[in-house]
Structure 1
Amino acid sequence: MQMSAVAESKAGFKEGLRAGISIAVGYLPVALTFGLLAKTTGLTVIEAVLMSVLVFAGAAQYISLSLIAGGAGAAIIIFNTFIVNIRHFLMSASLNEKMEPETRLKKAVYAFGLTDETFTVIATKEGKSTTGFAFGVMLIAYGSWVINTGIGHLIGASLPSFLQQAMSIALYAMFIGLLVPSAKKDLKVVYLAGLAAALNSLFVLTGLLNTGWAIAAASLLSAVVVEAAGWLRKGAGLL
């Protein structure tokens, strides 16, 4: 009986590895770019790889680079990472219903590997998802992100200095690249981005907040205002 459970776990793990290959391939260019930009921001290869090892959150890591470049302190970087990844609370709760019963320790392990992409693959699997399957999906995605971060940094180190400095512009291009597809799908994203940009500029230019706290405050306030406007509009439609 026990051997059967072990064999089933191994089969689920292998299935998860196969299902996660597409994520690993998709992470390759993004992780390479992150490693390269981490080099231009001033992080050592060890620091860049450690960030990917310990954080494993693409958008949050990119924002952290911009905050580090702006001289933000550790507290604001941690707070912004929390805000950016707060959606993981909902994703974890949803995934908990999908997964088979498991110990808290194993749940904690695969909760660390939760990203938008791994969540999608696991959540869309037919029936209950096994722990082995989740580990397989997350391990190959995690390995791709960490390894390619290091490779990207090493590639960046071999570039001429003037190209390394120019690559700092790519950080902002990356944010635009992440924003545009979402904005095309939902007009609310345009309102959120526009209002957040305006509030951030107001906070920084008036000296009310420094760069790090301005980003966090603008993100939270824009989300509240846009959602409140949406509720008021729906309420007015019901009257």
Structure 2
Amino acid sequence: MTIDQGTRFKKGCQAGISIAIGYVPIALTFGLIAKTTGLSLGETVMMSMIVFAGASQYMSLSLLALGTGAFEIVLTTFIVNIRHFLMSASLNEKVEPDRTINRVIYSFGITDETFSVAAIQPGKLTTGFMFGLNLTAYLSWVIGSGVGFAIGAGLPQTLQQSMSIALYAMFIGLLVPSMKKSVKVVFLAALAACFNIIFTMTNFLSSGWAIVVATLLSAVLVEWVEGIKKKGQVSNVE
């Protein structure tokens, strides 16, 4: 690494500190809940190292608790994180030209938060800056997960079991702010819940597939209705 790239790497690390501060408490909670879900320390840390996606990892814990199969968990994670294709395509226009291998490595660290910080930077983004930014966020998440697991292992067994409730509280905490900003999200969440209940109660699908199909079906229907509304608005203007 050249001196110039080293300086930019340092700037990337500094820009990632604010993200790391926000990641640590969420990572601690993830590690704590992973322990109560039945994962080992190695499995918990490995999930954070390989997946590196907070919402998807929390969702995976819920699916694992339901006994969902690996394929359904992978598919659901893919659906949840499909937005990363758009974020990566957007940053691709902003980063400096570099070897494909370097882009592949630092693109793994793109999250909602690192994307937001990178997108507001002036001028072209350098490889050093992207490595520093993403590495700082990545290490805070992985280390925080391991520390959270260790804390959970030290809690009394009864308290560990009760911590499973925190998983549902986390999902509510993620959902409510979005619901306040958009009525569309309210309909999407309600519709997905209804489909999931129907599929589960009728034994039409297993619990894992019920979540996957309910998510896809509700998203398609909401977007279809949204498209019809937009066409109607354009027709009225004309």
TM over 0.5: yes
3-state SS, counterpart of residue 56 of structure 1: coil
Structure 2 matches for 1:206-217, cutoff 5 A?
Answer: 206-217=202-213
TM-score, normalised to structure 2's length?
A: 0.97
Query: What is the distance in 2 between the residues matched to 1:125 and 1:88?
Result: 19
Query: What is the distance in 1 between the residues matched to 2:212 and 2:2?
Result: 46
2:197 is aligned, of 195, 201, 212, to 201
2:140 is aligned, of 140, 144, 165, to 144
Structure 2 matches for 1:20-169, cutoff 5 A?
Answer: 20-169=16-165
Q: How many residues are matched?
A: 235
Query: What is the distance in 1 between the residues matched to 2:234 and 2:11?
Result: 48
| 1:16 is aligned to 2:12 | yes
How far off its partner does 1:238 sit? 2.3
- What CA deviation, in whole Å up to 9, does each residue of 1:165-188 have, x standing for no partner? 110011000000001111111111
Between the two proteins, what is the percent identity of the paired residues?
60
How far off its partner does 1:74 sit? 1.0
**Which residue of structure 2 aligns with residue 179 of structure 1?**
175
Query: What is the distance in 1 between the residues matched to 2:119 and 2:233?
Result: 34
Let me know the Cα RMSD of the aligned residues: 0.9
Unpaired runs of at least 5, structure 1: none
Of stretches 37-46 and 208-217 in structure 1, the one that deviates more from structure 2 is: 208-217
**Which residue of structure 2 aligns with residue 188 of structure 1?**
184
Unpaired runs of at least 5, structure 2: none
